Amino acid sequence: MTTRAHWENVYQTRAVDDVSWYRPHLEVSLRLIADAAPDAGSAVIDVGGGEATLVDDLVVRGYSDVTVLDISPAAIDVAKGRLGPSAAAVHWITGDITAVGLEAARYDVWHDRAVFHFLTSADDRAAYVRQVARAVRPGGHVIVATFGPEGPETCSGLDVVRYDAEHLHGEFGPKFRLLDSVTELHETPWGAPQQFLYCFCRVE
């Protein structure tokens, strides 16, 4: 099964609030985005945004240049349906983040909660980092969250890579200046704890 087919199956067979990473509001992400981009005109991309509620909260907060990218058309359709008329103000991209074409220096903030840790191949991780380096403007910010050292070893039937702050930042390199790291103990909809690790960087 291809990666896209896997995620289409997940989103077509499970409810929005029946996946382990679901939160009604991504509080840590919203705080870091506000720190990175207090100007609501800043361009923000949510990689792997899919059905996540981050786009809803960004729109409510007045962010006017929001892009959501996901490999699954089904996930994007769910988000569009939930937003209703507001969906027309959001840029939607369907594609694999390691291969999709993104405009150079387009974004002020790159946000990813729980995509990067699925990249178990070093080549895929290198392709991802090249995408970030190309698509984020100099002086822009990158927020990437993965499972932490005590997080799960698999998710949705797939292996993941767990990171501490040093190793996650090391995947990106010196062009990305680490400003902060945050550990979050996320509770799944069925009450299981999951450790997430966020790295917050500025592109030099």
Q: Which is it for strands 136-147 and 193-203: parallel, antiparallel or unpaired? A: antiparallel
Q: What average pLDDT does this structure show over 50-59?
A: 95
- Output the pTM of the full model: 0.96
DSSP for 5-66 reads HHHHHHHHHS-GGGSTT--SS-HHHHHHHHHH--STTSEEEEET-TT-SHHHHHHHTT--EE
Q: How many other C-beta atoms are found inside a 10 Å radius of the C-beta of residue 136?
A: 26
Per the model's pLDDT, the better-predicted residue between 20 and 165 turns out to be 165
In sign, the C-alpha dihedral spanning 144, 149, 150, 156 is positive
Interval 110-122 mean pLDDT = 97
pLDDT tens column, 55-106: 999 999 999 999 999 999 999 999 999 999 999 999 999 999 999 999 999 9
Q: What's the pLDDT band for 15 if we cut at 50, 70, 90?
A: confident
User: Model confidence at 16, in pLDDT bands (50, 70, 90)?
Assistant: confident
Nearest to 92 by CA among 129, 125, 50: 50
Task: Work out the average pLDDT over 144-168.
Answer: 97
- Average confidence (pLDDT) over 151-157: 95
